[in-house]
Amino acid sequence: MDTPLSPGAALAAMTDVVNGQCPTVDQSDRTVPINLRQSGPTPVQMLISTRVRKSPYWHLAHKAGCWRATVYNRMYHPRGYVRPEDGGAMVEYDALVNHVTMWNVAVERQIQVKGPDAEAFVNYVVTRDVTRIKPMAGKYVILCNEDGGILNDPVLLRIAEDEFWFSLSDSDLELWLRGVNLGLKMNVSIKEIDVAPVQIQGPKSQALMEDLVGPAIRDVPYYGLLAARVGGRDVIISQTGFSGEAGYEIYLRDATLYADDMWNAVLAAGKAHNLMVIAPAHHRRIAAGILSWGQDLDQETLPFQCNLGYQVPRKKTADYIGKARLEQVRAVMESGGEPYRMQLVGMALGGKPITDYAPDFWLISGEDAGDPIGYVTSPWYSPELGTNIAMGYVPYGMRHEGTRLAVWLPDAYAEHAGEPVNAQIVPMPFRSSANPSARELARSQGRDSAF
């Protein structure tokens, strides 16, 4: 490393990394600190029991080669098909960016809100203006608590005038929605429904979907919906995804009954397009600047902190949960004050290629490699950019592009054991998306109020 270490800084930081909770990253603004205990890989065998749900596609994912999983929304979630000795996640990445892939994302539980007051209720629990979403269309939305913290960042599908589906990220939203309505007493029903999605992602996704449902797929806009049949079963198709590549999601109705029919129909049609079943592509979503709840944000994160300021509309007149707090924070930002402690940024960093999930929140120091002042949330290697990239949190005053940092990678990825690698804050997304997200479009138009 080019920058000399301050006396004892490397030893102190690495002691924290190896031996336990890091006491040097100020988290006084949080009630529950981010877990910075740097334990590294901890090989264990996952217990499969009845306490955690198996999705309707679980057996099909196992048949397709799934060899590891995590738990997401209290469901087992496939996170690897190609084994490390065969190239691992980067082989899956190649299939995604060059061909077409299918992902088992049934863990995106579907919470239905239906009834005469559905629009008014949903408009109160999300920050965006739901009245502008037409039937058979969707949007990426956030739901906040009264302190402005993000409880969930789902895709919201409007199936009909009086029916919405929340396609959840990794937090239990049904109980929150039911609790809110105990106070509101609006005329809606709120329940999880037997709908399970898969994602079809990659440059050949439209060609595959056309083989499955016909030319009508060409007319589905970004975040548009289409009712169709796949494998003879009823589905809703959205042009959405978690990759930054072109892609769709297939929401299968009565999924516990018909999972095999839909899945096998996709496999059969996919043969002509070099389809591969893979895990959700966190390596690609990081490059696209797409956030992962529980990793890059949680219920103690404000939208402005994680580049979701565009989700806090200035023109929505209707009240919503968290509105007063979010408007207060925005006023501090616009007055030139410091509205909160930590800001999510993008970084390009040195080191050996990071080609798998990080087991810890690796620590960030300033350029002088002194005591850690932040932490990495989502790192990976970008083949297109030829460097490691990452999202992470740094103090608000250090958020500006071009700021130089030092990142404490584990020895497996470090250039020199026991020393941090150089890093620099760079714009996000790290590379352009086939389907730019609303955040990406907002930033390109100068509307991302996080900066």
Which residues sit in the known binding site?
249
For residues 35-70, b (16+ Cβ closer than 10 Å) or e, as one string?
ebebeeeeeeeeeeeeebeebbbbebbeebebeebe
429: amino acid identity, one letter: P
Residues 425, 428, 432: CA angle, nearest 5 degrees: 135
**CA distance to 115, 240, 247, 320, 436, per residue, from 236 (Å):** 20, 12, 14, 28, 22
Alpha-carbon span 37 to 268, nearest angstrom: 45
Alpha-carbon span 157 to 115, nearest angstrom: 15
Which residue has 């103090």 as its token pair? Answer: 395
Residue whose C-alpha is closest to residue 124's, from 328, 326, 321, 323: 321
3-state class (DSSP) for residue 324: helix
The token duo for 383 is 């083949």
CB atoms within 10 A of CB 293: 21
Q: What are phi and psi of 442, to 5 degrees?
A: -60, -45
Tell me which H or E stretch contains 439.
helix 438-444
Alpha-carbon span 152 to 170, nearest angstrom: 7
Half-sphere exposure of 372 (CA within 13 A, CB side): 31
Binding residues for substrate: 249
Tell me which H or E stretch contains 91.
helix 89-98
**CA distance to 47, 115, 117, 208, 219, per residue, from 161 (Å):** 43, 9, 10, 30, 21
